[in-house]
Amino acid sequence: MENLQQLVMTKAQKWLGPEFDEKTREEVQNLIDNNPKDLIESFYKDLEFGTGGLRGIMGAGTNRMNNYTVGFATQGLANYLKINFPNEEIRVAIAHDSRNNSRSFAERVADIFASNGFKVFLFDELRPTPELSFAIRELKCQSGVMVTASHNPKEYNGYKAYWSDGSQVTSPHDVNIIKEVEKITEVSQVLTGANAENITILDKEFDEKYLAAIKELQLSPESVARFHDMKIVYTPLHGAGVRITPASLRNFGFTNIISVPEQTILDGNFPTVASPNPENRPTMKMAIDLAEKEQADLAMATDPDSDRIGLALRNSKGEYVLLNGNQTLVLLMCYQLTRWAELGRIKDGDYVIKTIVTSTMPDAVAAEYGVKCYNCLTGFKYIAKIIRENEGKAKYIGGGEESFGYLAGDYVRDKDGVSACSLAAEAAAWCRDTKGVTLYEWLQDLYVKFGFYREGLVNVVREGKDGAELIQNMMVEYRANPPQTILGSKVVDIYDYKTLEIKNTATGELRPISGITDKSNVLQWITEDGTIVSVRPSGTEPKIKFYFGVKATLPSVAEFDKVEAELDAKIEAIKAELNLV
């Protein structure tokens, strides 16, 4: 502990130097004088530029998001771009969300890139993450940066690095960028204050190109025309979807879009919610309350950078059910595949994608329509990687992950909450028009057809240095002593994505996991009765996640409530058995 304190104090003293601004020096001095615990958290390590970029609590220190850690990351990325694109004009796009300091961080990134001689495209104000991905492709950039911490609490901000295809960086660029970032250790190494003329501001005219690309996804304009005035409640949760998501809905033909007025106010403190995460019902409360008042067909939300979608649908009792990410994915994928089939669009080689911790229902749905379903590691960059590898060979239809992200079409290479909202609304109109049912009733019909798949999630949060060590120790223990049974059903296979091997528990035989080449610290336990439990430390937050997947036959919609209750009870029993409640 004494050595750690000495290390922290040495690093903190360096931040009192004249190369740091006065406000930063004052904040560091205050930590030294008054808050030794926060001093350690702020300086015990450098904020890691991980495989997707930066994410952390804002404040002074090497382990915090601030102008200096953002500067080091940007200069490292700039140096890597120079190595990869010698003798080329390097072009980069930059966007940001509504979080505190996001604009100043984005402007600092733009300044550093311009000072390195790059051609820089900076949006004039906040924009969704998917539009940044679209801009990289549209403007033929080699890279891009999105300043956002997605749905994290207000104390956080982050920095996502993108490559020339519009996806977040993957191997080998991710680890090689990290090496370059680690070489930047002094403020003097960061180039600033030059070539301001290299910065081009992107305004609302560029939005029209993005909206036009989304409009091409439309599959049922006739249904929308007939139900254009159905009530749609939407909230941007104080974030980047505030203007562009309603614009996309109007572009599809919808005319009765009801916003949550208190949440259209852009505010990085997210004053109306505890956390701006649309997967949480309390976060969706204002939208759902307004939907109940208006008797709306659906209530939708996007998170602060508008890449995720929250969707609440009215059931036959008039209650609004907040879908989990798996249900939203299944609905959007089923809608796309059904309409593609009806329109005669499906061809040999067409495919969809899901992640390994997502429900296995999309596998069954894809098989029904004769399209391939790829599985990949968690993170949309792996979905983008599969799209990139199949370009010119096969057609991507849609795909997503359980964490409320979906992408239809390949015009961008990250999840897109804007287009997902438009497709969800269109699917609701199509259900009413062609089937005479609500979107939720159609989901129930799909469960009758394909089986009732039910999922659960537990997040175990462990903050700080001690928490990170505890999470790693949990994974070590699970590898050494995995459960032999889950609720009495024998664990037959253990998938270890760190070694890319499957262990047959009966024979001890190891066989490779097919179709996946990237490694990740994830374990999956598969039981005889088809239950799946996945364990994964988060790559962006101080938590370890437990995913549960169970399924049963649903004989009829009339038995929906009964079977749902049984499956939910099974998930709760699994949590209890694993000491997670």
Q: How far is the C-alpha of 421 from the C-alpha of 425, rounded, in Å?
A: 6
Q: Which of 253, 353, 376, 247 is nearest to 306 (CA)?
A: 247
Give, in degrees to the nearest 5, the angle at Cα 477 between 474 and 483.
Answer: 105
518 phi and psi angles, rounded to 5 deg:
-85, 145
HSE-CB of 151 using CA atoms within 13 angstroms = 23
Asked if 376 contacts 390 with a C-beta cutoff of 8 angstroms, the reply is: no
Annotated catalytic residue, options 98, 150, 220, 534: 150
Q: Give Rg (Cα) of the chain.
A: 24
Asked if 137 contacts 413 with a C-beta cutoff of 8 angstroms, the reply is: yes
CA–CA distances in Å: residue 369 to residues 164, 203, 312, 330, 442: 32, 41, 27, 13, 17
CA–CA distances in Å: residue 352 to residues 205, 339, 398, 407: 32, 14, 5, 10
257 phi and psi angles, rounded to 5 deg:
-95, 120
Provide the residue type at 348 as one letter.
D
CA–CA distances in Å: residue 556 to residues 164, 452, 552, 563: 48, 10, 12, 10
Asked if 453 contacts 334 with a C-beta cutoff of 8 angstroms, the reply is: no
Q: How far is the C-alpha of 103 from the C-alpha of 100, rounded, in Å?
A: 8
**Known catalytic membership, residue 248:** no
Active site residues: 150
